[in-house]
Amino acid sequence: GAGVSQSPSNKVTEKGKDVELRCDPISGHTALYWYRQSLGQGLEFLIYFQGNSAPDKSGLPSDRFSAERTGGSVSTLTIQRTQQEDSAVYLCASSLRVVDGGYTFGSGTRLTVV
């Protein structure tokens, strides 16, 4: 596609439920990133996939968070047993190379845990 697509755009879930957030990167982009943006805060790095290499999971805040990337394309971020502090906008980005313009972000999924 022309841009990074994220779904759903909004998600309201009850505390304790599991949620899955989806990201479709730009075709051909080898790198995919997940960030979390809380209200009025900056972007917090979560996880990074680069080609066939093992993902960099160093930013995941707890073992309730996990992500996978299938076939080097679509990625799913899963949050198990959601907590109210998980409420945030989850942003996905993809990139090819720095010289090609860096990251392209999707519009995000706004997650609200009630």
Partner 1 sequence: QQQVKQSPQSLIVQKGGISIINCAYENTAFDYFPWYQQFPGKGPALLIAIRPDVSEKKEGRFTISFNKSAKQFSLHIMDSQPGDSATYFCAASIENYGGSQGNLIFGKGTKLSVKP
Distance of CA 65 to the CA centre of its chain: 11
Contact between 103 and 55 (Cβ < 8 Å): no
- Alpha carbons 83 and 13: distance in angstroms, whole number: 10
Residue 95 within binding range of partner 1, rule CB under 8 A = yes
Contact between 50 and partner 1 by CB under 8 A: the answer reads: yes
Rounded to a whole number of angstroms, the minimum distance from the CB of residue 26 to partner 1 is 13
Per-residue x/- marks for partner 1, 63-82, CB under 8 A? --------------------
> In this structure, is the dihedral angle defined by the CA atoms of residues 1, 93, 13 and 60, taken in order, positive or negative?
positive
Binding site for partner 1 (CB under 8 A): 4, 30-31, 33, 35, 41-43, 45, 48, 50-51, 56, 59, 91, 93, 95-99, 101-108
